[in-house]
Structure 1
């Protein structure tokens, strides 16, 4: 078995309706600051990693719905929960880094579309940090959260997730 055949990366959307497997080495990891990527991700930028031959992308559960965001690019997302999943251009497919089960080792090495970069993104490392459990003002609310998020691994089935009852404002005080 070659090194490429031995390398497998899995991932999927937040709800688990769409799952994927990449067999082979991942391409270049990047972030894109262009306005189209900001809107597609609903975020400050889009963190993506390329999938290029000989690596293969296989949809193992479901498949993304696609929005043709320009004449050249389609954006794939989960039709159930809306998680952004792909950037698809002729000869180029990128997968959202956060959609991988283990995104820790997929570090961006280049930034694209910097003309659209929001000026405060360079200063984000200087913003004060707080761990979730240290946020005492929201502790009661956080203690009542029941996650419907799919686990970061493949599962045999995809059950329809029942939403938890909404938390009333009185319970968060």
Structure 2
């Protein structure tokens, strides 16, 4: 089942042993583009047993626990409850009790709902405790990256130079593709004006195409492939047209020669 951008009205989930089961109801105007975040602090990592925790903020009144006989709370930080299953150990939510919200652990959502609505439920653009990110593993997350928390004293937003260089490289790649396309036009104009049928020009053209094909695989620009396809199509159509015209011209020359062969004896007899 593929993920969809259709907003869910309800989702269900629970812990591994199903001692905890819940249902979340979303309002029709619920904004799924906000409220999802990741955390890389030591507490969340140890609690989740993963290098990164994925959490979706919801209102406490929107979640209903249909089963909670094994639900326990742990306070790694005073005033912040971490709801977990005392039987299987699944971490279900993170809840600052002085605030009116609950951060649901996305991984506890049922498989069917997660596969269907995962792109909305887990689309996070805010990331906490990025000072503890793991290079090459959790350091390439898109969006706002906070050194620790985004509230209170010491809140610091990290400037992500990686995204800047990615955009710069993308723009440079587009520029390179455009320059190659213009070079193609100049090359075709040169070849068409000189001689299309000399073998060394065709070999040169094929070598250029092969080198460029490897280059384009690295750049991966669909719009350039589109332009390049039509340029090559034009070139080979022109080549075919010229060949047809040459055949027609030779046929006409042959027709003249045949006519001369038949008319020459008649001319002699007439004399």
Structure with higher RCO (Cα < 8 A, 6+ apart): 1
Report the TM range for the smaller structure's normalisation: 0.5 to 0.7
- Aligned partner of 1:75 in structure 2 is 82
- Aligned partner of 2:107 in structure 1 is 98
1:44 alignment partner, SS class: coil
Q: Judge which range, 94-103 or 115-124, deviates more.
A: 115-124
2:19 alignment partner, SS class: coil
Higher strand share: 1
Give the one of 114, 119, 126 matched to 2:135.
119
Are residues 124 and 16 of structure 1, via their aligned partners in 2, closer, same or farther at CA, if it must alter by over 3 Å?
farther
2:78 alignment partner, SS class: coil
2:135 and 2:38 map into 1 onto residues whose CA distance is 15
- Aligned partner of 2:19 in structure 1 is 17
Measured after TM superposition, the shift of residue 120 of structure 1 is 3.2
For structure 1, the residue ranges without an aligned partner over 5 or more in a row are 1-5, 126-173
Measured after TM superposition, the shift of residue 79 of structure 1 is 1.4
1:94 alignment partner, SS class: strand
**TM-score, with normalisation over the residues of structure 2?**
0.40
Larger radius of gyration: 2
1:23 and 1:13 map into 2 onto residues whose CA distance is 18
Higher helix share: 2
1:56 aligns with 2:62: yes
2:12 alignment partner, SS class: strand
Q: Is the 8 A contact 2:130 2:139 kept in 1?
A: no
Measured after TM superposition, the shift of residue 15 of structure 1 is 1.2
Structure 1 stretches of 4+ with a deviation exceeding 3 A read 122-125
- Correspondences of 1:26-37 after superposition (within 5 Å): 28-37=35-44
For structure 2, the residue ranges without an aligned partner over 5 or more in a row are 1-7, 142-271
2:86 and 2:76 map into 1 onto residues whose CA distance is 16
